[in-house]
Amino acid sequence: MAAALWPLTAGHLLAMLLVILPFGLLVALVEWQLQIQIGASLLVIGFGILRLVDRRHPRALARIPPTQLGFWSFAVAIAHGAGLMLVPIYLGLCRAANVDKGHEAAGTLMNANLEMAVLVSLVHATAMIAAGGCLAWLVYRYLGLKFLSRSWFNLDTSWAVSLVLVGTIALVFSLAN
Say how many domains are in the chain. Answer: 1
| Contact present, 109 and 47 (Cβ < 8 Å) | no
List of residues 6+ apart from 39 with CB closer than 8 A:
none
Range of the domain at 132: 2-176
Q: pLDDT tens digits for the chain (177 residues)?
A: 678 888 888 888 888 788 777 766 665 555 677 787 788 889 889 988 998 898 776 676 667 776 777 877 787 777 777 777 777 766 665 554 444 444 344 444 445 566 777 777 788 788 888 988 898 888 888 888 777 777 666 677 888 888 899 889 888 888 887
Q: Determine the residue type at 119.
A: L
This prediction has a pTM of 0.59
List of residues 6+ apart from 95 with CB closer than 8 A:
27, 33, 34, 37, 174, 177
| Contact present, 168 and 49 (Cβ < 8 Å) | no
